[in-house]
Amino acid sequence: MGFKDHFEIVFNSPVYYAGQTITGKLIVELKKPKKIKGLYLKYFGKGSVHWNEGWGTTMVSHSNLEIYLMQYQLVCGNETDEYELTEGRHVFGFNCQLPADLPSSFEGHFGRISYSVKAIIDRPLKNDYVAKQPLTIVSIFDLNRCSLAAVPVEEQNSKTFWGHPKSLNMSVNIPVRGFVPGQVIPIKVLLSNESEVPVKSLEATLKQKVVFHAIRKSSPMKVFVFKNEYPVEEGIGNKEVHLNFQVPPLPPSFLQFCSIIDLRYQLDIKAKVSGCHRSLKLPIELIIGNIPLVAYEMPIFGNQPLCDVPGLSPLCNQFSDNRPPPYTVIFPPSMEYGDLPPPSYEESIRHGRLDREGPREDSNSNAETREFLPLYPVYRFETARAQTVG
Q: Are 247 and 379 in contact (CB under 8 A)?
A: no
Whether the Cβ atoms of residue 242 and residue 186 lie closer than 8 Å to each other: yes
Distance CA 89, CA 154 (A): 62
How much is the average pLDDT of 285-311? 72
Q: Does domain 6-142+320-378 have CATH number 2.60.40.10?
A: no
Distance CA 376, CA 319 (A): 12
Average pLDDT over residues 3-13: 82
Identify the weakest region by mean pLDDT among 5-9, 194-198, 303-307: 303-307
Question: So what's the pLDDT on residue 335?
Answer: 56
When pLDDT is averaged across residues 251-256 and rounded to a whole number, the result is 96
Q: What is the pLDDT of residue 296?
A: 93
Task: Please provide the size of the chain in residues.
Answer: 390
> Bigger pLDDT: 305 or 342?
342
**Phi and psi of 30, rounded to 5°?**
-120, 140
Q: Tell me whether domains 6-142+320-378 and 143-314+380-386 share a fold.
A: yes
CA angle 221, 317, 177 (to 5 degrees): 55
110 vs 232: CA distance, rounded Å:
38
Distances (CA, A) of 337 to 292, 293, 380: 10, 11, 16
Please report the sign of the dihedral spanned by the C-alpha atoms of residue 178, residue 105, residue 66, residue 102: positive
* Helix (H), strand (E), coil (C) string for 260-325: CEEEEEEEEEEEEECCCCCCEEEEEEEEECCECCCCCCCCECCCCCHHHCCCCCHHHHHCCCCCCC
139-160 pLDDT, tens digit per residue, is: 999 999 999 999 999 999 999 8
Q: Which of 222, 231, 227 lies closest to 271, judged by CA? A: 231
Q: Report CA-CA distances (Å) from 174 to 178, 296, 384.
A: 10, 12, 16
Q: How confident is the model at residue 362 (pLDDT cuts 50, 70, 90)?
A: very low
Residue 3 CB neighbour total at 10 angstroms: 7
Give the SS3 label for residue 144.
helix
Does residue 334 register a pLDDT over 60?
Answer: no
Pair 173, 152: CB distance under 8 Å:
yes
Domain layout of the chain by residue ranges: 6-142+320-378, 143-314+380-386
Q: What is the pLDDT of residues 170-208, one digit of tens each?
A: 999 999 999 999 999 999 999 998 888 899 999 999 999
Indicate the pLDDT class of residue 165, thresholds 50, 70 and 90. Answer: confident
143-314+380-386 has which CATH code? 2.60.40.640
CB hemisphere CA count around 188 (13 angstroms): 9
User: What is the Cα 149 distance to its own chain's centre?
Assistant: 19
Amino acid present at 256: Q
